[in-house]
Amino acid sequence: MIQDMRMSEGVEWALHTCLNLAWVERDRAVPTSTLAAFYELPPAYLNKQLQALVRAGILASTPGPRGGFRLARAPEEITVLDVVVAIEGPQEAFECAEILRRGPGGAPGVDYRKICVISQFMRQAELNWRRELAGRTLADLKATVEERFPAVPGEVRHGLTGTRT
């Protein structure tokens, strides 16, 4: 064993933060400091992750007083994969380096990512994983939490906006 394959910790932060924002009124912006305080996260670093979500079109940002972040789309239109890709990047975990090209019988014009049996299998497995993540939206997660933990939405709204509504 050597080590990793770990995905960035920011993915967890981003998912929870986006889900929390789904419980706040759509037009209300929540600043980084508030979002970070909710889970005692380092504000500046969380801000960095949120910037990535803005670039991906998942969040919208507003500067100045009463500014902050809010969902750019409806929760039904934001999948878990969207958030993961926004933070981790679009590239796959198993990236075929086409080492077969260096082996005997290797040809320059061949795409070994499509020929190589190992590459094919790994790609397929990862594609299924992505498909599963793309099939679940923030709205789904939101509904599940509301069903299992009815108190959570109120707590989130209170922690993020100060209102108890």
Partner DNA sequence: GCAGAGTTACTCGGATAGTTCTTGTCCGAGTGTGTTCGG
Partner DNA sequence: CCGAACACACTCGGACAAGAACTATCCGAGTAACTCTGC
CA-CA distance, 128 to 50, in Å (whole number)?
27
Contact partner at residue 16 from its own copies, DNA, none, CB < 5 to 8 Å by partner kind: its own copies
Q: How far is the CB of 65 from its own copies (least distance, A)?
A: 25
Binding mask 35-64 for DNA (x = CB under 7 A): -------x-xx-xx-xx--xx-----xxxx
Q: Taking CB within 5 to 8 Å according to partner kind, which of its own copies, DNA, none is near residue 31?
A: DNA
Does residue 71 contact residue 78 with C-beta atoms inside 8 Å? Answer: yes
Residue 96 zone, left/alpha/beta (φ > 0; ψ -120 to 50; rest):
beta
Q: Does 32 bind DNA (CB under 7 A)?
A: yes
> Tokens 């299992």, residue?
148
List 27, 65, 164, 165, residue binding DNA (CB under 7 A): 65
Q: Write the single-letter amino acid at 90.
A: P
CA angle, 77 then 83 then 88, to 5°: 150
Please identify which residue in 26, 33, 39, 74 interacts with its own copies, judged by CB under 8 A: 39
